[in-house]
Chain A
Amino acid sequence: MSADMRTLRDRLPRLGPALLALPAVAFVFAFFALPMLDLFLASIGWPDISLASYTEFFTRGGYLPVLVRTVIAGITVTVLCFLLGYPLAYAINMTTGTKRTVMLLFVIVPYLTSLLVRTYAWIVMLGDGGLVNKTMIFIGLTDRPVQILYTSTAAYVGMVHIMLPFMVLPILSVMNGVDKRLIPAAKSMGCPPFRAFLRVFLPLTVPGIRSGCILVFILAIGFYITPAALGGLSDVLLSELIEIQVSQAMNFRLAAAAAFVLLVITALFLLIFGADVSSTRTGLVGGDTGRFSGRGVGFRWARSLLAPLAAAEVMRKRRLAQWQKSLYRRDPFLAFRPGLLMTYAVLCLGFLILPSLVVLVMSFSSDPFLSFPPSGLSMQWYEEFFTDPSWIAALGKSVYVACISTLLACGLGVLAAYALDRSPTLSNYLMPLLLTPIIVPIVVVGVALYGGYVDWGLIGTDAGLIFAHTLGGISYIVIIVSATLAGFDRRLERAALSMKAHPFTAFRRITLPLIQYGIIAGAIFAFIHSFDEVVVATFIGGFGEKTLPMKMWEDIRHEINPTIAAVSTLLLLVPVLGLVGLRLTQRRNN
């Protein structure tokens, strides 16, 4: 009996990888892959297989133009973000010290700020009584408010604003890894500065550009909240169409077909831009992305999702970068005048941060409606929030769901990441599966989970919400913990084993303490993912109690109530607290 136990105890670690990844894989399979399969079957009208709904989608008036408009919007947003973001990343990359930290914060804080808050901020900014119209009237551009809100201009402004950090962070993380001595080397061979930039620096940052563009395009074509809130009725995007089909037209088959069309576009885009080029560039990329190079398809996918990782890592790498910078303090290859570039960067960062500041000011307004600047200050909207039981209940529910799903995701995700790190083969097959919940457009996830969870009676339940949010949480934790493990010296584990430590002891005493920074960073991302998530929650929330984002979204759509400004201001604390948390664990790690 005891001999049996002993052999089991010895064998367990050797069976290792597959066994450790199993819980996460089973979870994602059950609560994500099955509903997705269900969705596909629904779209072809299982069990009577027909392509009727696809035919309807492509032939009936109105749908095809929406698809075309969605793709065009995706491309436009991607190009705009690149044009705005590359110089900004370049400017941040050449800055040092406190200035660099501040600039980074101006990118990372909006990145971590709730999507709803930022969308709401643009409603406040662009409305008739908003800052933009007031400014235009003040400087005499116009004498009465211009309609900006609820036009495609507003939708584009909002989408670019929200996507910009997703472009800047991956580019920045690659720029960080480019050897600074290459440009002086090129110049020493007689290459003029701007050509040196074009021939040496730009090509080396292509992997970052690709990551950024993939990320922005995929997010943009599945974008729901921002265009729905800011855009006009005439420019509906595909994601909105899907939502309408489910919630109003009750045409689930058509919604399923539309969702699959969206999914196919995403997959095609990933196949074309995400896969092939990267292999030829393997090894060129330093820093964070370098760790992902040459590890097969799974990691190529992961690379396009680097933004959260980059955010966490860029903060950590700051000191090294500073040292490198001090060697080349006077940026010798700057093609533009530094002043000009810096002015541009400041404007960009202003664009990123200003809406949140306006919301912050508005939350203290004494006016009964949204008007900038407020005529007086008061705490009335905070009082409103804290005395309204429905707001407090929503807050409580959000915190509860986010905490449980983060814990669940941590448990499953850390084990899976550890397993995938041990076996490259396993990683190649399972990494894509574990990451799909955050690659697939959120609207598609919403529809799929709605269809699946209806059958299982999970609609409107806490369990349903928790499961849905755990999916994305697992993805974030797997990405970040995998990257941390890639930097972990596995020989330390071996050393512990050689000292008669059981593999579990070695993991607990050596590995876990050394990767805890990654786990905590992953947990913070998982928490924020759940706490801010609104699209899936709206689909599967049913008539149950609302989470905070669900209630905000409802209020934004029905009555623009300044209470939301107070809620938003409180939500601005989330990324700030998150960053403080990251910083503290880092301090302890050092």
Chain B
Amino acid sequence: MSTTVAIILAGAVLTYLTRAGGHMVLSRFERIHPRVEAALNAVPAAVLTTLVAPAVYHGGPAEIGALLIAGIVALRASMMTMFLSGAAVLILLRYLLH
């Protein structure tokens, strides 16, 4: 088995555990401690932010411009609209600034 396949399967097992485990573990408690709930609530935004922030900090004008516009569009529109407008700005700025 290649490393890639091993990583994928390990990721799959852990992903399944998150999907089944919440019910298995948390259903044993009457209620979740508010601080635990606050931590769980924060996980996705905290993780995903770290994937964007360095790219913004080290990005060129085209990259920063694309994220800026996409971020603003995201306030009003769907994920797909946000994504496509960010991509359009990126392609345009890269073309213009080359």
Answer yes or no: are A and B bound together in one complex: no
Q: List residues of B whose CB falls within 8 A of some A CB.
A: none
Q: List residues of A whose CB falls within 8 A of some B CB.
A: none
